[in-house]
Amino acid sequence: MDKFQTDPHNMGNDDLVTTRLETLVNFFREKGVNWARKNSLWPMPFATACCGIELMATGASRYDVARFGAEVMRFSPRQSDLLICAGRVAIKMMPVLQRIYLQMAEPKWVISMGACASTGGVFDTYAVVQGVDQFLPVDVYVPGCPPRPETLIEGIMAIQRLVEKEGIRPSAEREKGMRHVVQPTYQLTMPTAAE
């Protein structure tokens, strides 16, 4: 009989153990790695302006991004897999940001935080990059000026969903990035005439 038969009734104990072990290893390879990776994102903060303050607040005790396993801010790109670009980027700074992105470990993801990083914001001048996505593959845009920490956390959760779904696809395969936009979930209530 073939050693690798699949009929469980004809399997020896050794074959059963090997098959179960193989199933377990495959399960961890497919699901476990992604699960571990999504819960241990290491952000590279690139904070150039006021959005950086909200990024700091996201890491502090009130919002505590450690709940999502993403509190280990690395200031070395080689130890990071999530670039958070917070604030406006001057055109002279863009080559630096690109180099940081290239030095980051694969697989890697990018969050564009705030109006300035995503579009240039109110700084419609030749000196400010009108959206980092012209030069970097952005996976998630976080809107706002500045975005509140809750919105950034929603962006990090969107990256987590991506990691869970996409696995360890290298950034070169994702080309221009996934370009998801975090939608504000709150409802604005307009004051009534009586108020």
Site residues, ligand SF4 (CB under 6 A): 49-51, 87-88, 114-116, 121, 145-146
Does residue 154 contact residue 115 with C-beta atoms inside 8 Å? no
| Shortest Cβ 121–ligand SF4 spacing (Å) | 4
Contacts of 43 (CB under 8 A, 6+ apart): 70, 72, 73, 74, 80, 82, 83, 84
Record the tokens describing residue 126, joined without a space: 């030749």
Task: State the minimum distance, in angstroms, from the CB of residue 89 to ligand SF4.
Answer: 10
- Which DSSP helix (H) or strand (E) runs through 112? strand 109-113
Nearest alpha carbon to residue 140 among 164, 153, 156, 117: 156
Cβ 51 to ligand SF4 shortest distance, Å: 3
Residue 50 or residue 157: which is nearer to ligand SF4 going by CB? 50
Which of 23/125 has CB closer to ligand SF4? 125
Closer residue to ligand SF4 (CB): 70 or 142: 142
* Shortest reach from residue 187's CB to ligand SF4, in Å: 22
Cβ-based neighbour number of residue 80 at 10 Å: 24
Q: Residue 11 or 49: which CB sits closer to ligand SF4?
A: 49
Closer CB to ligand SF4, 38 or 147, in the complex:
147
Q: Which residue is nearest to ligand SF4 (CB)?
A: 116
- Say which amino acid occupies 144: G
Alpha helices in 104-172 (DSSP H): 114-119, 149-166
User: In angstroms, rounded to a whole number, what is the distance separating the alpha carbons of residues 164 and 14?
Assistant: 33
Q: How far is the CB of 88 from ligand SF4 (least distance, A)?
A: 5
